[in-house]
Amino acid sequence: MATLKDRIAVDLKAAMKARDQLRLDTLRSALSGFTYKRSEAGRDLSDQDELDVVGRLVKQRADSATEFDKAGRTDLSDKERAERAILMEYLPAQKSPEEIREAVRAAIVEIPEGSRNVGAVMKVVLPQMRGLADGNAVRQIVSEELASN
C-alpha cells in the first residue's frame, strides 16, 4: 500500500510532465512539510502524521485566503483556495455538517449538565473528527448546539 507521501510524489511527477505549475508548487510544499515534520519528530512519519501535515497545510491555505480577502487581494486569495482544493484531494472525505452535529449532540449528552461548555464539548468531539472536519466548523456547530440546549 502506497503512503500519502508516495501518492503525492507520483502526482508531483505527473504535474511536472503536464507543466501544471500551481499543482507542482502545492505538492512540493506538501513534500517539504513532510520533510520538516520528519526532522522535527526525529523518526519516520506514520500515516496519521502525514494526514496531519496535509490537514495543517489545508488550514493554512484557508486562513491565508480569508486574510487576503480582508485585504482586498482576490488574486492571492483565489490562488490559496486553488491550492487548498488540490490538498483536499489527499485528505479523507470530510464529514457533512449533519454528521458533525450528530457527534456533537452525542458528546453533549455524555458531559454532565453543569460542565457543558464549548471547551468541554470540543475536547470530546475533536479527537473523533481529526482529519475529517474543519475545527472551525466543529466549533460553530458546538456553539449552536449548546445555545439551543
Q: What is the pLDDT along the chain (149 residues), one digit of tens a residue?
A: 578 899 999 999 999 999 999 999 999 999 999 999 999 989 998 888 898 899 899 999 999 999 999 999 999 999 999 999 999 999 888 888 899 999 998 888 888 877 788 888 888 898 888 778 888 888 899 888 888 87
Q: What CATH number does domain 97-148 carry, 1.10.10, 1.10.287, 1.20.950, 3.30.70?
A: 1.10.10
What is the reported pLDDT for 79? 96
Number of Cβ within a 10 Å radius of residue 50: 22
Spatial contact of 125 and 138, defined as CB atoms under 8 Å apart: yes
What is the reported pLDDT for 54? 92
How many whole angstroms separate alpha carbon 66 and alpha carbon 86? Answer: 17
Tell the CATH topology of 4-88.
Hypothetical Protein Yqey; Chain: A; domain1 (1.10.1510)
Q: Give the distance between the most distant pair of CA atoms in the chain.
A: 59
How many whole angstroms separate alpha carbon 107 and alpha carbon 120? Answer: 9
| Placement of cell 481529526 in the chain | 130
Question: What is the length of the chain?
Answer: 149
Same fold, 4-88 and 97-148: no
